[in-house]
Structure 1
Amino acid sequence: MSTRDLVLAALFAAIIVALGLVPPIMLGFIAVPITAQSLGVMLAGVVLGAKRGGFAVLLVLLLVAIGLPVLSGGRGGLATFASPTAGYLVGWFFAAIVTGYLSERFVDRSQSGIVQIAGFFLAALLGGVVVDHALGILYLAYGMGTGLSTAFMGDLAFIPGDVLKALIAAFAGRAVMVGYPLLPQRV
């Protein structure tokens, strides 16, 4: 990785951490809060691509692991990786990689704006929503023992907000693509 890549990954790690300043919203029927940080994960994927976006999330997870309170609500530390949110946190890494990979495949600088937005939205939806939620549900169901149907039904409350976050990430990805394209292009 070049110095530029490291700086960009660190910048997006900082964006994910800054989105943690938005207080979490607890729903009561599931032990996982609604946070704004998943938007940062989607942004890292659509703007930076798979490699740099995944590295940005890895930096955030490293900060969490060493105990810094960088998650929404001031959470951090190794115990976070044994909490009900662990599947979603680990899912962030894979979500950023899948979102970035799909963005690199679906979006090209020569496409029209609406096609780019649609490509970014689909990438953020598949990576940032489907992948992250799948890992979160699996951990809730089997790691925390809530059962698959209970975990799935509880997770449904997050879908509308995360679809909106994917749309925001798509528009942001398009704006960056127009002004200062950072997404690696595949040939």
Structure 2
Amino acid sequence: MTTKDLVLAALFTAIIIVLGFIPPVTLAFIPVPITAQSMGVMLAGCIIGAKRGALAYVLLVVLVAVGLPVLSGGRGGLNVLVGPTGGYIFGWIIGTFVTGLIAERLVHDGQSAIKQMSGFFIASIVGGIGVVYLCGMPWLSLVAGTPFDKVLIGSLAFIPGDFVKAAIAMLAARAVMVGYPLLPAKV
């Protein structure tokens, strides 16, 4: 890892923290709020790639673990990481890595804008939504003592907003790629 990689990861950690300033929206039927910070998974993966993006979220989790109120709603501390949202928070790390990995494979210079945007959108959906849900829903079911089928049904309320976040991440990633490509070249 180069100094540039570390700086980009730290910069994205700061961006993710700023996304946390947008107040969370709580739903009565599930103890997981709707937050803008989950969009950071898609942004970091698509813009700076798998390793640097995942590192940004590792740094965020470390900051949360030491008690800094860097999550939406001013939350922080170990109790958040072992609470109902803990699976989603740790899922952000894996989701960012998967998002970045897919984006690195599907998107490269020389493609049409449509192919690039499609690649970013697919990466955001698979990693930023699919993987995060796969990590978060079983944990939520276990910790909250809610049957998994009820968690699954309750999670459906998040899907429309997550698709909007994926579209925003796609547009932002494409704009950054055109102006200043940060996504690592396909190896």
Deviation at residue 41 of structure 1 after TM alignment: 1.6
Separation in 2, partners of 1:181, 1:101: 16
> Which amino acid in the other structure matches residue 129 of structure 2?
V
TM-score by length of 1: 0.98
Separation in 1, partners of 2:82, 2:6: 29
Q: Which stretches of structure 1, 4 residues or longer, exceed 6 Å deviation after superposition?
A: none
Instruction: Provide the aligned C-alpha RMSD in A.
Output: 0.7
Q: Which residues of structure 1 form unaligned runs of 5+?
A: none
Separation in 1, partners of 2:155, 2:87: 12
Structure 1 residues 118-142: Cα deviation after superposition (integer angstroms, max 9, x where no partner): 0000000000000001111111122
**Residue aligning to 2:98:** 98
Deviation at residue 184 of structure 1 after TM alignment: 0.5
> Which amino acid in the other structure matches residue 128 of structure 1?
G
**Residue aligning to 1:181:** 181
Separation in 2, partners of 1:109, 1:52: 20
TM-score by length of 2: 0.98
Separation in 2, partners of 1:34, 1:169: 16
Question: Percent same amino acid among aligned pairs?
Answer: 57
Aligned length: 187
Give the match's secondary structure for 1:32. Answer: strand
Separation in 2, partners of 1:54, 1:5: 11
Does residue 166 of structure 1 match 2:166? Answer: yes
**Residue aligning to 2:43:** 43
- Superposed, 1:55-134 pairs within 5 Å as 55-134=55-134
> Which amino acid in the other structure matches residue 117 of structure 1?
M
> Which amino acid in the other structure matches residue 180 of structure 2?
Y
Separation in 1, partners of 2:137, 2:75: 20
Q: Which residues of structure 2 form unaligned runs of 5+?
A: none
Separation in 1, partners of 2:79, 2:18: 21
Does residue 157 of structure 1 match 2:157? Answer: yes
